Amino acid sequence: MVVVSQPALDHFSPIKSCRPTSSLFNGIPMVDLSHPEASSSIVKACEDFGFFKVVNHGVPMEFITRLESEALNFFNLPQSEKDRAGPPDPFGYGSKRIGPNGDVGWIEYLLLNTNPDVFSEKSRFIFRENPQFFWSAVENYVAAVKKMAFEIVELMAEGLGIEDRKVMSKLLRDEKSDSCFRMNHYPPCPELQALSGRNLIGFGEHTDPQIISVLRSNNTSGLQICLRDGTWVSVPSDHSSFFINVGDSLQVMTNGRFKSLKHRVLADPRKSRISMIYFGGPPLSEKIAPLPCLVAKGEESLYKEFTWWEYKKSAYKSRLADNRLGLFEKTPSQ
Ligand SMILES: C=C1C[C@]23C[C@@]1(O)CC[C@H]2[C@@]12CC[C@H](O)[C@@](C)(C(=O)O1)[C@H]2[C@@H]3C(=O)O
Ligand SMILES: O=C(O)CCC(=O)C(=O)O
Ligand SMILES: [Fe+2]
């Protein structure tokens, strides 16, 4: 038996760990955005999983590789320099702590508002004083990913048989859209693996609060999703594709037809993982409610009335793993 010394464990405490799962899940739906049937595949994937992979997405590979290398440059800076861009408020650089309520993970990250008008001072610092870290790389990448996200929600509306195909995309396209962009770095954790044979939790289980999340990572796996039967499965990494998550707000807008997906990230013992996620949210004042055309005659909304601002305020009072939507359900689920 391997005896783990207390000082070694203290280094990771209180970050949780779990047994490594070697099996990769091969059942993730794949949507080819250039296929004529893409809209119905999107709807099916959202109903069955709340998650799917996108190929033929139209985001230029040069934007992807450039941003990844800029992100690596940033995360390779000395700790004292990175700390000047933090702590997150929620925007800026953060390390180990996720959110304001005591969640921790084996992670460092940069969280940015996609609207440059609302850049926090810290975000300004990152780009003004770190010439290695190019704002233009973020701008090009985010613009291309947003375009893809708009197309995906428009195809979704089409697949759902909604007359106004822009009903969701206009919320993301709105100049007041409350969207954000996150770059995560999960350093390797060889010591713990050697000591205990376990993987550190990089980002604990949670659902994303927004409408849609668009994720891309390097070729290091670690992302896991929770299937309907409660089992956690690992998503095979694919550095040239994107992964889409249904967020809590989309669950509400479809009156529960699509479910937001619980996911988490395990750090790899040997390889670092870099991920970049665009979280598409509505304007703060927007009412989040089931789209009337998705509520059948005689049916009711499953949710109380709330604005995105009210939901976000409540989300920021919650812990990562909390069932945030539970507070807004008319009939609370367990
Ligand atoms: C613990 C928290 C971090 C988070 C805000 C929260 O209070 C609960 C939701 C978390 C989450 C998950 C998805 C995104 O990564 C994120 C930016 C978001 O909008 O909600 C994070 C928040 C965060 O890291 O600030
Ligand atoms: O880093 C990842 O792959 C996923 C992170 C995540 O779920 C998040 O930032 O909300
Ligand atoms: Fe997430």
The complex scores an ipTM of: 0.99
With CA atoms as reference, report the closest residue to 27 among 57, 51, 61.
51
pLDDT tens for 61-89 read 999 999 999 999 889 989 998 888 889 98
For range 174-179, the mean pLDDT: 95
What's the pTM value of the predicted model, to 2 decimals?
0.94
For range 227-241, the mean pLDDT: 95
CA 134 → CA 8, 81, 86, 270, distances in Å?
37, 16, 18, 28
Cis amide bond preceding 90, omega within 30: yes
Q: Mutate which of 279, 313, 317, 325 to test ligand 1's pocket (most atoms within 8 Å of Cβ)?
A: 279
- What percent of the chain is modeled with pLDDT above 90? 74
> Closest ligand 1 atom to the C-alpha of 317?
7
Between residues 327 and 200, which one has the greater pLDDT? 327
pLDDT tens for 52-67 read 999 999 999 999 999 9
Residues 95, 101, 103, 104, CA torsion sign: positive
Report residue 193 as tokens: 């693996």
Residues in the chain: 334
Q: Hey, where are the domains in the chain?
A: 6-328
Q: Which amino acid is at 5?
A: S
For range 259-272, the mean pLDDT: 95
Angle between the N-to-C axes of helices 61-75 and 135-159, in degrees from 0 to 180, rounded to the nearest 10:
130
pLDDT tens for 157-169 read 999 999 999 999 9
Q: How far is C-alpha 285 from the geometric centre of its chain's CA atoms?
A: 22
Distance from Cα 185 to the centre of ligand 2, integer Å: 10
The pLDDT assigned to 17 comes to 82
Q: What are phi and psi of 257, to 5 degrees?
A: -65, -40
Is the CB of residue 275 below 6 angstroms from any atom belonging to ligand 2? yes
- Within 10 angstroms of residue 103's Cβ, the number of other Cβ atoms is 18
With CA atoms as reference, report the closest residue to 250 among 205, 227, 282, 203.
282
Between residues 189 and 122, which one has the greater pLDDT? 189
Distance from Cα 111 to the centre of ligand 1, integer Å: 10
Which pLDDT band, with edges at 50, 70 and 90, does 297 fall under?
Answer: confident
CA 25/CA 186 separation, integer angstroms: 21
Report residue 35 as tokens: 């296929």
CA 253 → CA 211, 244, 304, 310, distances in Å?
9, 17, 12, 16
The pLDDT assigned to 103 comes to 96
pLDDT at 10 over 60: no
The pLDDT assigned to 4 comes to 45
Helix, coil or strand: residue 300: coil
CA 45/CA 52 separation, integer angstroms: 6
For range 199-224, the mean pLDDT: 96
Q: Which amino acid is at 36?
A: P
pLDDT at 2 over 50: no
**Ligand located closest to 308 CA:** 1
Q: Kindly write down the DSSP assignment for every residue of 171-216, as one continuous string.
A: HHHSTTB--EEEEEEE---HHHHHHHS-EEEEEEEE---SSEEEEE
CA 33/CA 39 separation, integer angstroms: 9
Smallest CA separation from ligand 1 atom 2, residue = 99
CA 96/CA 186 separation, integer angstroms: 10
With CA atoms as reference, report the closest residue to 107 among 32, 52, 178, 188.
188
Please, what is the average pLDDT of the chain?
90
Is the CB of residue 167 below 6 angstroms from any atom belonging to ligand 2? no
Q: Of 270, 273, 319, 324, which residue is the catalytic one?
A: 273
Q: Kindly write down the DSSP assignment for every residue of 121-182, as one continuous string.
A: HHHHHHHHH-TTS-HHHHHHHHHHHHHHHHHHHHHHHHHTT-S-TTTTHHHHHSTTB--EEE
Record: fold of 6-328: Jelly Rolls (2.60.120)
Q: What are phi and psi of 16, to 5 degrees?
A: -75, 160
Between residues 21 and 216, which one has the greater pLDDT? 216
The pLDDT assigned to 292 comes to 95
CA 333/CA 92 separation, integer angstroms: 35
**Ligand located closest to 202 CA:** 2
Report residue 42 as tokens: 């999107």
